[in-house]
């Protein structure tokens, strides 16, 4: 049986009890523009908010008097047992949160035995990340240029990375007005405003900014291409997103025929895309709106999940990300049929606050919430978490039949 105690003495940061506490603490540590880069969404942040509020529209109908003394949140995927149905989503430019942040995420996921996706926009070479966590998956921002894609896949094969996650919601750059207001741009420019922001956060300035410059120089997009990429301060011809708007389903078909490893598509929101991806033979898909960071006014990923699942054969696992902050969110997504969920911001907040122990604490909080809520729902294992345990809060069940006294009375 796993423990519901999330305050074990060996845990650092045990005074931080919930993911929200890490967000508040991260806000203090990080310069405003960096914190907002993490927290923010696009335009009016409608989708960012919807990702959270969607979970509140559905509540649980827990069962009682079930023997839940022996319970587990272990999940099996592709013949491997993971300790929990939570993984770390790809998060680019994490090097501005902590020096070597990608490496910390890789190490902590390896230790916790949960999935980890290397971002195509990450700053630590994927070869090193794959050594730190040999089960790392790689997320690609592929251009519609098969020669470029082949170079990356060759590099992945050489690094023994077996799973590609192709992000399909980023054909053009998003309208992130919050970043523009804070003068935070990629390529990164040291404007007076950003400089002021940095010097008013001296701990970050020393521990992250200065340390990074001294130890490894200006961070680079080391994993976006088949070879080392540009510095985050450098402009590239056509911009680093060049050619992404040409990527099509034909390219996915071609990639499927070329890539012998596992292929996952990330950013599926429409049931028709789910059907197409399944027909092409992907190994899994992630229902995601990029954490509200691409198309604003997209529906929440939680709302999109049931219709996506309806289009996909049971042999193809469906994952979800977007707005997961509590164990109860995880269990709601699983009740609707998700196999696993991923988180982007929470573990970056963990890294900001406490480097590896901070990330560990965030993962532990989620796992202990999952464990406790499994028990309170009357479930011993994840497969017991069925849709029957959910109810739309705004739409009470109206099929009340006074002759039906339920199966337990
Ligand atoms: C700072 C940051 C950077 C991100 N970078 C990437 C990326 O490089 N590739 C990608 O596919 N998604 C990226 N995402 C989106 C996440 O993978 C994920 O879809 C999203 O964060 C999930 O929402 P959550 O943050 O509410 O958990 C990023 C998200 C954040 C917050």
Percent of the chain with pLDDT over 90: 87
Tens of pLDDT, residues 13-50: 999 999 999 999 999 999 999 999 999 999 999 999 99
- pTM summary value: 0.94
DSSP 124-163: S-HHHHHHH-TT-EEEE---S-HHHHHHHHHHHHHTT--E
Q: What pLDDT is recorded for position 99?
A: 97
Residue with CA closest to ligand 1 atom 28: 91
Q: What pLDDT is recorded for position 84?
A: 99
Tens of pLDDT, residues 106-145: 999 999 999 999 999 999 999 999 999 999 999 999 999 9
- For the chain, give the longest Cα–Cα distance: 75
**Domain range summary for the chain, segments of one domain joined by +:** 19-392
Residues 6+ apart with CB under 8 A from 385: 331, 334, 335, 374, 377, 379
Query: Which helix (DSSP H) or strand (DSSP E) does residue 329 occupy?
Result: helix 327-335
Residue with CA closest to ligand 1 atom 2: 91
Tens of pLDDT, residues 139-173: 999 999 999 999 999 999 999 999 999 999 999 99
Domain 19-392, CATH among 1.10.8.60, 3.40.50.1820, 3.20.20.70, 3.40.605.10: 3.20.20.70
Residues 6+ apart with CB under 8 A from 237: none
Q: What pLDDT is recorded for position 1?
A: 42
The token pair at 169 is: 């919601």
Indicate the average pLDDT of the chain. 93
Q: Which residues line ligand 1 (CB under 6 A)?
A: 38, 51, 89-92, 119-121, 139, 167, 266, 288, 290-291, 293, 321-324, 343-345, 348
Residue with CA closest to ligand 1 atom 13: 91
90 CA distance to ligand 1 centroid (A)? 6
Q: Which of 36, 90, 294 to mutate to test the pocket of ligand 1 (most atoms within 8 A of CB)?
A: 90
The token pair at 230 is: 């540009």
Question: What are φ and ψ of residue 220, in 5° steps?
Answer: -120, 160
Q: What pLDDT is recorded for position 2?
A: 46
- 386: number of Cβ within 10 Å: 13
Q: Is 32 a catalytic residue?
A: no
233 CA distance to ligand 1 centroid (A)? 21
Q: What pLDDT is recorded for position 29?
A: 98
Q: What pLDDT is recorded for position 395?
A: 57
288 CA distance to ligand 1 centroid (A)? 9
């Amino acid at each position: 049986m796993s423990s519901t105690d999330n305050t074990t003495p060996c845990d650092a940061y045990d005074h931080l009890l919930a993911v929200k506490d890490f967000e508040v603490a991260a806000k203090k540590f990080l310069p405003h523009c960096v914190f907002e880069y993490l927290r923010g969404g696009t335009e009016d942040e409608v989708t960012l908010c919807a990702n959270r509020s969607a979970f509140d529209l559905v509540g649980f109908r827990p069962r009682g008097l079930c023997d839940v003394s022996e319970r587990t949140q272990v999940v099996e995927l592709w013949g491997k047992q993971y300790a929990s149905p939570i993984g770390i989503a790809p998060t680019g430019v994490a090097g501005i949160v902590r020096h070597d942040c990608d490496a910390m995420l890789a190490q902590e996921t390896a230790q916790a035995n949960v999935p980890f996706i290397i971002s195509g926009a990450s700053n630590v070479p994927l070869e090193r990340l794959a050594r730190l966590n040999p089960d790392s998956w790689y997320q690609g921002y592929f251009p519609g240029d098969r020669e470029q894609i082949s170079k990356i896949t060759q590099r992945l094969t050489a690094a023994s990375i077996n799973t590609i996650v192709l992000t399909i919601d980023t054909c053009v750059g998003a309208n992130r007005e919050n970043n523009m207001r804070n003068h935070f741009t990629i390529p990164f420019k040291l404007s007076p405003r950003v400089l002021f922001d940095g010097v008013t956060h001296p701990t970050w300035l020393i521990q992250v900014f200065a340390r990074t410059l001294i130890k490894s120089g200006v961070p680079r997009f080391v994993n976006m291409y088949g070879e080392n990429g540009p510095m985050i301060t450098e402009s590239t011809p056509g911009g680093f997103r060049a050619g992404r708007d040409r990527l099509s389903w034909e390219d996915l078909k071609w990639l499927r025929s070329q890539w012998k490893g596992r292929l996952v598509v990330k950013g599926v929101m429409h049931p028709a895309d789910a059907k197409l991806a399944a027909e092409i033979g992907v190994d899994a898909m992630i229902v995601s709106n990029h954490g509200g960071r691409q198309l604003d006014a997209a529906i929440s990923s939680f709302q999109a999940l049931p219709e996506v699942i309806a289009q996909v054969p049971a042999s193809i696992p469906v994952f979800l990300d977007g707005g997961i902050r509590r164990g109860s969110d995880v269990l709601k997504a699983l009740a609707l049929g998700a196999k696993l969920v991923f988180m982007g911001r929470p573990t970056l907040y963990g890294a900001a606050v406490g480097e590896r122990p901070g990330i560990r604490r965030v993962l532990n909080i989620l796992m202990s919430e999952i464990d406790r809520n499994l028990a309170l729902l009357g479930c011993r294992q994840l497969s017991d978490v069925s849709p029957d345990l959910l109810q739309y809060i705004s739409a009470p069940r109206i099929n009340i039949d006074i002759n039906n006294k339920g199966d337990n009375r």
